[in-house]
Amino acid sequence: MSYTYEAVARPKSGLRLHLNENTGGCSRAVLDAIRAVSRHDVAFYPSYDDVVAACAARFDLAPERFVLTNGLDEGILVTTITALRDRGADQPEAIVVVPAFDMYASTSDAVGARIVQVPLGREFAVPVDDVLAAVSGRTRLLFLTSPNNPTGLLIPRADILRMAAAAPHVLVFLDEAYADFAGVTLVGDAEAAALPNLLIGRTFAKAYGIAGLRAGIVTGHPHTIARLARVVPPFSINACAAAAIRTGLADREYYDWYLAQVRESKALLYEALRRWQLPFWESAANFVLVRAGDRAKAIVEGLAARGIHIRDRSHDPSSPGCIRITTGVVDHTTACIRALEEVLCGAA
Ligand SMILES: *Cc1c(COP(=O)(O)O)cnc(C)c1O
């Protein structure tokens, strides 16, 4: 079994609703900040004092409680290395609740762990007892995602805390890549902060729209963050990304605008899906998982023919018949709904 990151289509044109990117482009202030980067800023190794202070203020965290990473992907990688580096005679194990973001299994596999997959339960709920039953003496790492990708569902706070508390020898990585859209986070939660084995990952890729610059953050107990910090390369964030994070955090107007666009987009898509009687899961993120059944492939291809790219999840046995649609800027969602209408109703 190989666990490679699924190669996703890289369309040269059209509307990209397949990778949960920010469909609006980053804030204009962020672009201005990048333009203001000087020749010396580019020539010198970056300094992170300002960006660390900005993150500390925004997330209300002491600097020893987080590390900045080159995208949350790097946060996942350094967590995996940290958890799996001191391996004994037995092959260590990493638990992935599936369906899940590909990176968890691919990095754990690359670092030499055995992947233990636990399928989501009924209606894609995280099966807490099954997860805990999968924990063994060899388990080093447990990946949780809330809101989950691709379901968009939140894991109840009590469930996350229960899993982390029940397995103190396991590093629990809570991926909150979409927490901005949910308005719910365990960053800053007193009980979560007291658990030395709980790490929480955030990214500036989605709500802030700087996926192209690569910027993320991992927060946790200072002891655990110190272990992670030994693995993160000292200049992991480039000068443009550092400038973009600082400015992006300051531009609340853009952030609030985008979150409102996503909320409205989801409401419009839900309404259309109900009209077409396509089952879906109400999402706390910036995408919606839809059960299209045996029409999945035709829908994905029909939309692609109209220049709209969505994610086909139907071939994954843990999300059979499902497609995932990014809900970003309202105009983009409206265009997608119009195209879906044509494909589903055979019009046009
Ligand atoms: C997009 C995504 C990431 C990656 O974030 P980057 O900061 O772009 O590396 C991590 N986790 C999940 C669940 C994601 O969907």
100 Cα–ligand 1 center, Å: 11
What are the tens digits of pLDDT across the range 28-81? 999 999 999 999 999 999 999 999 999 999 999 999 999 999 999 999 999 999
What are the tens digits of pLDDT across the range 198-226? 999 999 999 999 999 999 999 999 999 99
Stretch among 8-22, 91-105, 121-135 having the lowest mean pLDDT? 8-22
Q: What is the pLDDT of residue 348?
A: 47
Verify whether ligand 1 is closer than 6 Å to residue 146 (CB atom). Answer: no
Which domains does the chain carry?
15-24+253-347 (3.90.1150.10), 28-250 (3.40.640.10)
Verify whether ligand 1 is closer than 6 Å to residue 203 (CB atom). Answer: yes
- Average pLDDT score over residue span 131-136: 98
Percentage of the chain surpassing pLDDT 90?
92
What is the pLDDT of the chain when averaged over all its residues? Answer: 95
Residue 2 has pLDDT above 90, yes or no: no
Verify whether ligand 1 is closer than 6 Å to residue 175 (CB atom). Answer: yes
Verify whether ligand 1 is closer than 6 Å to residue 211 (CB atom). Answer: yes
Q: What is the pLDDT of residue 7?
A: 65
Q: What is the pLDDT of residue 47?
A: 95
Stretch among 83-87, 164-168, 215-219 having the lowest mean pLDDT? 83-87
What are the tens digits of pLDDT across the range 281-329? 999 999 999 999 999 999 999 999 999 999 999 998 889 999 999 999 9
Q: What is the pLDDT of residue 6?
A: 64
**CA distance linking residue 328 with residue 82, whole number of Å:** 34
pTM here is 0.96
Residue 266 has pLDDT above 90, yes or no: yes
**CA distance linking residue 247 with residue 22, whole number of Å:** 17
Verify whether ligand 1 is closer than 6 Å to residue 216 (CB atom). Answer: yes
- Average pLDDT score over residue span 82-94: 89
- What are the distances in angstroms from CA 278 to CA 121, 151, 251, 261, 323? 21, 15, 37, 23, 11
Verify whether ligand 1 is closer than 6 Å to residue 101 (CB atom). Answer: yes
Say if residue 123 is exposed, middle or buried (CB neighbours under 10 Å; 0-12, 13-18, 19+): exposed
Q: Which of 22, 103, 237, 283 to mutate to test the pocket of ligand 1 (most atoms within 8 A of CB)?
A: 103
Residues 6+ apart with CB under 8 A from 234: none
